[in-house]
Chains A and B, each alone.
Chain A
Amino acid sequence: MVVELAPLSIAGGPRGVRRVPDLADNAVLVARELLSPTVARIVVRPDGGLAPFEAGQYLALGVRVNDRVVQRPYSTASDAANADAHEFLVRRVPDGALTPRLWGLPVGSRVRLGPPKGAFTLVAGDSRTHLFVATGTGLAPFLAMLRTLARRPHPPRAILVHGAARTEDLVCGDEIAALAAGGLPLTYVPTVSRPDDPVNRGWNGRTGRAETVLASVLRSADVPPDDLSAYLCGNPGMVAAAETVLLARGDPLGDIHAERYWTAPGETR
Chain B
Amino acid sequence: MAYVIAAPCIDHLDQSCVTVCPVDCISHDPGADRKAYIDPDACIECGACESACPQGAIMLDSRLPGAWAAFAEIDRGWWIDPEWARAAVDAVDAQVA
Interface residues of A (CB under 8 A from B): 1-8, 10-11, 13-19, 21, 58-60, 62, 71-73, 114-115, 117-119, 262, 264-265
Contact = CB atoms under 8 A, between A and B. Distances in A.
A4 B92 CA distance: 10
A62 B81 CA distance: 27
A16 B80 contact: yes
28 contacts: A1-B96, A4-B67, A8-B74, A10-B84, A10-B91, A13-B77, A13-B81, A14-B77, A15-B84, A16-B80, A16-B81, A17-B80, A18-B41, A18-B79, A18-B80, A19-B80, A58-B22, A60-B22, A62-B23, A71-B22, A73-B44, A73-B48, A115-B24, A117-B19, A118-B20, A119-B19, A262-B48, A264-B44
Contacts, number: 91
A19 B79 contact: yes
Contacts of B81: 13-16
B5 to A, nearest CB: 16
Nearest to A19: B79
Given A11-B84, A21-B39, A119 B92 contact: no
Interface string B38-78: 01011011111000000000000000011101100110111
B17 to A, nearest CB: 11
Contact of B96 (A3, A8, A119): A3
B36 interface: no
Given A13-B73, A73-B44, A117-B21, 7 more contacts: A4-B67, A5-B95, A13-B81, A15-B80, A58-B22, A60-B24, A117-B22
Contacts of B46: 73, 262
Contacts of A11: 84, 87
Nearest to A259: B48
Contacts of A72: 44
Contacts of A119: 19-20
Contacts of A114: 22-24
Nearest to A11: B84
B96 to A, nearest CB: 5
A109 B67 CA distance: 47
A2 to B, nearest CB: 5
Interface in B22-36: 22-25
Contact of A14 (B41, B42, B66, B85): B85
A260 to B, nearest CB: 8
B92 A5 contact: yes
Contacts of B47: 262
Most-contacted residue by chain B among A4, A58, A117 (CB, 10 A): A117
A6 B95 contact: yes
A10 B87 CA distance: 7
A117 B81 CA distance: 28
Contacts of A8: 70, 73-74, 88, 91-92
Contacts of B70: 5, 7-8
B88 to A, nearest CB: 5
Nearest to B16: A119
A119 B33 CA distance: 26
